[in-house]
């Protein structure tokens, strides 16, 4: 699942057993939260220290997502529920810009680009 939040962009999938290496069986009780920008994972950990604070951010250049953390599915469900409960704005891209300030300029631009791509899909 892709998840765009005011804290950053995440791709979440079931983690593989053990260290999460390819070729290992999937562990449906554990989630691998992946990000392209480390600061996005750091922001999420900071915002949800009870669920994610102890999770280590792993960095790798051998994958398309350079940063990842592993979390129990039950803790991730709490995070996603809390993110949904926090929605108190009527324009997502504007909220990201307000929340992240200048540090989030590249993320906000990427959101505009994604909006455009999905708008083209709607017009087909």
Q: Give residue-wise pLDDT tens across range 37-86.
A: 999 999 999 999 999 999 999 998 888 899 999 999 999 999 999 999 99
Q: What is the average pLDDT score of the chain?
A: 94
Q: pTM of the predicted model, to two decimals?
A: 0.91
State the pLDDT confidence band at 102, using cuts at 50, 70 and 90.
Answer: very high
User: CB neighbours (10 Å) of residue 103?
Assistant: 10
Tell me 123's DSSP state: H
13 CB neighbour count, 10 Å cutoff: 14
């Amino acid at each position: 699942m892709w998840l765009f939040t005011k804290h950053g962009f995440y791709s979440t999938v079931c983690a593989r057993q053990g260290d999460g290496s390819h070729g290992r069986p999937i562990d449906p009780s554990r989630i691998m939260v992946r990000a392209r920008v480390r600061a996005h994972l750091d922001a999420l950990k900071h915002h949800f220290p009870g669920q994610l604070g102890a999770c280590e951010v792993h960095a790798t250049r051998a994958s398309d997502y350079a940063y990842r953390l592993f979390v129990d599915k039950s803790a991730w469900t709490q995070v996603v529920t809390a993110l949904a409960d926090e929605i108190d704005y009527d324009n997502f891209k504007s909220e990201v810009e307000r929340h992240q300030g200048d540090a989030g300029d590249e993320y906000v631009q990427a959101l505009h680009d994604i909006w455009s791509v999905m708008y083209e899909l709607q017009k087909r």
